[in-house]
């Protein structure tokens, strides 16, 4: 009998801040099988015990070498067969951007992609990270089902942000970034949200400084991708835009295995 996995992904903009704003209550209310968080901005030793030991969940984390920066974590009801923080042996990550859990039926990747802003070398790093991701996922999908979620830090098409014309030359909507998402999909992956919803006006990030969320002037930069072979297993993909506590909101999929 198939089991439905409810998986949530959320850039929490600081896991300790999210904890103070009720992250454990969110977990108890939503009751996901797996919760992936990005931009944790902490080392595991900095976290309170009740966050590491949420009842019913195993906790895994990958932190950046630089304190208070980047980082990803996963709460999972299902103990994985294997945990990794790299793309195989070929690509090492010292910014805490990659965390993968291998299960019997699929491998789940929780990834916080580089923003690419600031000094020019950071955009080069972003493109390198994109290319390493695509290369590794193309290889891996030949062996297992792949679910990749996280903050991609790019919007794909014009309906994925409120003001596409104003942002043609903005990092996060540059042609090379949009092309990477197209290439990723063409390599045999699905943007799960677009399987169920083709409409504009659905965003996952809003600029806090301009109070953009109140006007829904946002960007959809948080994604769940799966390999095309499991499209039939998808039951839902949605954006939990009513959930507050970060400049991002959670995204969700339900998938049967």
Looking at the annotation, which residues are catalytic?
151
Q: Specify whether the CB–CB gap between 56 and 33 falls below 8 A.
A: no
Q: Measuring CA to CA, which residue among 166, 212, 193, 165 is closest to residue 250?
A: 193
Query: Which 8-state DSSP code applies to residue 93?
Result: -
Query: Which 8-state DSSP code applies to residue 22?
Result: T
Question: How many contiguous H segments (helices) and E segments (strands) does the chain have?
Answer: 7, 14
Q: Specify whether the CB–CB gap between 179 and 160 falls below 8 A.
A: no
Residues 159, 219: Cα–Cα separation, whole Å: 9
């Amino acid at each position: 009998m198939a089991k439905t996995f409810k998986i949530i992904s959320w850039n929490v903009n600081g896991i300790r801040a999210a904890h103070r704003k009720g992250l454990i209550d969110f977990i108890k209310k939503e009751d996901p099988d797996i919760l992936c968080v990005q931009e944790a901005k902490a080392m595991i030793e900095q976290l309170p015990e009740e966050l590491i030991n949420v009842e019913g969940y195993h906790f895994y984390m990958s932190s950046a070498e630089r304190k208070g920066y980047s980082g990803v974590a996963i709460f999972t009801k299902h103990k994985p067969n294997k945990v990794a923080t790299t793309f195989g042996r070929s690509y090492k990550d010292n910014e805490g951007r990659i965390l993968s859990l291998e299960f019997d039926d699929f491998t789940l990747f929780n990834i916080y992609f580089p923003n690419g802003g600031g000094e020019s070398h950071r955009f080069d790093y972003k493109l390198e990270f994109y290319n390493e991701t695509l290369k590794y996922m193309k290889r891996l999908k030949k062996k297992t089902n792949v679910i990749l979620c996280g903050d991609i830090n790019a919007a794909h098409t014009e309906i994925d942000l409120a003001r596409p014309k104003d942002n043609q030359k903005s990092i996060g909507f540059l042609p090379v970034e949009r092309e990477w998402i197209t290439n990723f999909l063409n390599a045999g992956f699905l943007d799960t949200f677009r399987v169920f919803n083709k409409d504009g006006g659905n965003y996952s990030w809003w600029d806090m400084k301009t109070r953009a969320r109140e006007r829904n002037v946002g960007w959809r930069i948080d994604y769940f991708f799966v390999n095309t072979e499991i499209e039939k297993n998808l039951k839902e993909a949605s954006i939990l835009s009513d959930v507050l506590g970060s400049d991002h909101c959670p995204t969700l999929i339900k998938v049967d295995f």
